Amino acid sequence: MKEYKKILQIDDLHFSFKTYAGEVQAVRGVSLLINRGETLGLVGESGCGKSVTAKSIVKLNAIENGWYKSGHIYFNEKDLLKVNDKELHRIRAKEIRMIFQDPMTCLNPTMKVGKQITEGIINAHPAMPKKEAEKIAIGTLTKMGIANAKERFNHYPHQYSGGMRQRAMIALAMAVNPQLLIADEPTTALDVTLQAQILALIKDLQKMYDTAIIMITHDLGVVANIATNIAVMYAGKIMEYGASDQVFNNPLHPYTWGILKSIPPIDADCSTPLTPIIGTPPDLFDPPVGCPFAARCPHVMHVCRNAYPHNFRTADDQQVNCWLYHEYAPDTNNPITGKRVAL
C-alpha cells in the first residue's frame, strides 16, 4: 500500500483585501491538507476564494491592499508566512510552481518560449550551464506533447495555438520537477477535446514525478478523474471535504448537491432543463454570521442563519459543515443518493 507524506498543510487561513468600499473577507478560515502524489480538487463558483487561497500559498496576492489576518501555511513543515524573501523566491523557483488560467497573459509575448523555460530552470538551478538548461527545456516541451520541440523552442507565444500555449505553461512549471503544482483553472479557455488532453497530460506528469497537485476549478467534471480528494468552497469557506468518490457518490452539503444537480446528465438532450442554484453568493464585505449558503439553501433552518455549523465527520473522514447532520435536525433526503441524510 502506498504511503503518503504530508507536503502542504493550511491551518485556519484568513486573507482579506482592503478596498475603498471596505474590507473584503476573501478567505475565512480555510484549512486543507495535501500529501505528495495526491491531487486536491478545490471546487467552487467564481468569487468563492479559490484563487486567493492558492495564491496565498506563495504570497502572490497583491500586498498593496491585501493582508493575512491569521493562519499558517506549512510546506514541508516550514511556515511559508514566516520565511524571508530570499527563501520564498527559492521555493517559488524550485519547489512550488503555478499554472495560470490564461497562458497568453502569463507568457512574455516578447520572449521566445524556449528562453522563458530555460530562464525558469536556471532560476531554480543557478549553477547549471545554459546549454544543459536548454536541453532540459526542449526535453520538457517534448514530454508535453509538442511536436518538433527543437523548432518550437525558438518560437514566440503568438506562434503557438491555445492548447500549445497551455502545454508550454505546464512545461515552464514542470521543467524543474516541483514538489507542488498549483493549477488555477488550466482548461477554462480550451475546448472539450483540448481539456481532456491537458488533464490527461497533468495526470501522466503526476505519476511520472510524484508531484502533489492543487487543481482549482468551478467544474466538478474537470476533477472527476484526476482528484484524490475534493474540497468544495463557498464564500471563502470550505463547505465539504472528502475523497473524490465520496463527494461524487455521497455528497453531504446542499451546496454540493446543487453543483451536481446543475450538471446535465451525459445522456440528456436539449429539452432537459438544467437545475440552477437560485440566488446569489453573500456579500463578503459583510459576510453572514451563520452558514453562508443559508440564503440559497432549500433546507435552511433558523439555526443556519444565526450560527455557523459545526464540522461533522463520517466514519471514513468525509467532512461537512452543515446543521442537517446535527442530532436534532429534521429528517431530510439527499437528492443525489435518494437516501436519508445521515453520517
Q: Could you give the CA distance from residue 324 to residue 298 in angstroms, rounded to a whole number?
A: 12
Q: What is the pLDDT of residue 1?
A: 45
* Mean pLDDT, rounded, for 281-285: 94
Look up residue 158 and give its DSSP letter. Answer: G
pLDDT at residue 3 tops 60: no
Look up residue 261 and give its DSSP letter. Answer: H
Query: How many other CB atoms sit within 10 Å of the CB of residue 336?
Result: 15
Q: Which residue has the cell 483553472?
A: 185
Query: How many other CB atoms sit within 10 Å of the CB of residue 3?
Result: 7
The yes or no reply on domain 1-95+178-274 and CATH 2.40.50.180 is no
Where is pLDDT greater, at 163 or 39? 39
Q: Could you give the CA distance from residue 274 to residue 157 in angstroms, rounded to a whole number?
A: 38
Look up residue 226 and give its DSSP letter. Answer: T
Residue range(s) occupied by CATH 3.40.50.300 in the chain:
1-95+178-274
Q: How far is CA 300 from CA 21, 62, 149, 289, in A?
A: 30, 36, 56, 14
**How confident is the model over 23-62, as pLDDT tens digits?**
999 999 999 999 999 999 999 998 899 999 999 999 998 8
**How confident is the model over 301-331, as pLDDT tens digits?**
999 999 999 999 998 899 999 999 999 999 9
Q: What is the pLDDT of residue 235?
A: 96
- What is the share, in percent, of the chain residues with pLDDT greater than 90? 71
The one-letter code for the residue type at 33 is L
Packing angle between helix 130-143 and helix 162-174, nearest 10 degrees?
130
Look up residue 223 and give its DSSP letter. Answer: H
pLDDT at residue 4 tops 70: no
Task: Check if the beta carbon of residue 237 is closer than 8 Å to that of residue 47.
Answer: no
Look up residue 273 and give its DSSP letter. Answer: P
- What is the share, in percent, of the chain residues with pLDDT greater than 70? 98
pLDDT at residue 136 tops 70: yes
Strand 212-217 relative to strand 311-313, pairing: unpaired
Packing angle between helix 113-124 and helix 85-94, nearest 10 degrees?
130
Q: What is the mean pLDDT of the chain?
A: 91
**How confident is the model over 169-217, as pLDDT tens digits?**
999 999 999 999 999 988 776 778 888 888 888 888 888 888 999 999 9
pLDDT at residue 272 tops 80: no
* Mean pLDDT, rounded, for 265-280: 79
Q: What is the pLDDT of residue 7?
A: 95
Look up residue 153 and give its DSSP letter. Answer: T
Q: What is the pLDDT of residue 11?
A: 97
Closest CA to 156 of 126, 118, 193, 113: 113
**How confident is the model over 83-112, as pLDDT tens digits?**
999 999 999 999 999 988 777 778 999 999
**Secondary structure class of 37 (helix, strand, coil):** coil
Q: Could you tell me the end-to-end alpha-carbon distance of the chain, in angstroms, rounded to an integer?
A: 27
Our CA dihedral for 199, 201, 202, 208, rounded to 10 degrees, sits at 150
Where is pLDDT greater, at 122 or 64? 122
